[in-house]
Structure 1
């Protein structure tokens, strides 16, 4: 899977924690919080972040916008979610590997949308800036 806007290695090894069909797949890793947070937010306050990118299918974003949270949540939308526009930050897009996102979306989950088997991010490559 290739994503626009990612730094080498920051997302590698993150496990998907929630898989909600026709909505999002979410990954998170408290061990990588600092590096990913610093890169994603680039030291900007929430009010300075670009919220113009919309939550279309295959967009990459985060719910981590305040430094007081302990974990970093990364999500990939699997369908358009206009209700999230201007609420959660989108900073990238899947440009290769949409089929993999769709395969992840089909895995068996428990009643809390947690995958029954481990699914993680092997690697992410920087393609270009948005």
Structure 2
């Protein structure tokens, strides 16, 4: 086998290609692509950032417009009352819109503890239960006689059962009594100012309705309100 001369080896090594050099055009194109990518990312970030800010501003403006029509005093008024009785809890929704003055008076008396320990002193089966002043004027005196023949009434009923009301006329701290109907009562507006309705605890109202009473419709055993708690929501 013939040996390669040193001069031939030198010429072959010179013919071998060195490392490929990157052209100036390629470098410029790569830099241009990087710049375009950075510009695109920055534009996208700016777009979404402005969009989210506009959405937040729109939401705030809508909220402010809605709140502009809300009376802060009305919004602070509790919407519910929970009567803790010796028979259980009765939850009442208050009619703040239709009877605002009576609801305000009721809430004020609740905060003073007026109803704490108040007894149910009139229970007329299939008619109404009353808590408050047993000697109060008007509301129950003629109801006791009407309650005896309630089943014979065939007039159109205007009101449902489980409505919360108080007697009409001038009231003071001692004269604010509570009535909860246990059946639809004709011409209820002639006797009561309705300012709420029972939404939970109807079975408690019915249990109070079923207690034994004397000839004056007074419960033979004491049944009363332990306390009343006011709530914004249920």
Q: Give your verdict on TM over 0.5.
A: yes
Structure 2: how far apart are the matches of 1:76 and 1:58?
6
Question: Contact conserved, 1:2 with 1:127, CA < 8 A, in 2?
Answer: no
The counterpart of 2:208, out of the listed 78, 94, 104, is: 104
Aligned residue number for residue 45 of structure 1: none
**In 1: Cα distance, 2:164 partner to 2:225 partner:** 13
Q: Report how far residue 94 of structure 1 moved.
A: 1.1
Corresponding residue SS for 1:80: coil
Partners of 1:62 and 1:90 within 8 A in 2 = yes
DSSP 3-state at the match of 1:85: helix
By relative contact order (CA 8 Å, sep 6+), the higher-ranking structure is: 1
Give CA-to-partner distance per residue, 1:59-109, whole Å, 9 cap, x none.
110114314896222100000102213542000111111000000000000
SS in 2 for 1:124: strand
Give the TM-score normalised by the residue count of structure 1: 0.68
Equivalent position of 1:72 in the other structure: 176
- Give the paired residue count: 106
CA distance in 2, matches of 1:128, 1:82: 32
Aligned to 2:93: 4
Structure 1 vs Structure 2 CA RMSD: 2.7
Q: What is the SS of the residue equivalent to 1:108?
A: coil
Structure 1 residue runs of 5 or longer lacking an equivalent are: 31-53
In 2, are the aligned partners of 1:59 and 1:90 still within 8 Å (CA)?
A: yes
User: CA contact under 8 A between 1:3 and 1:94: conserved in structure 2?
Assistant: yes
Q: Which protein shows a greater Rg?
A: 2
- In structure 2, C-alpha distance between the alignment counterparts of 1:14 and 1:117, rounded to whole Å: 14
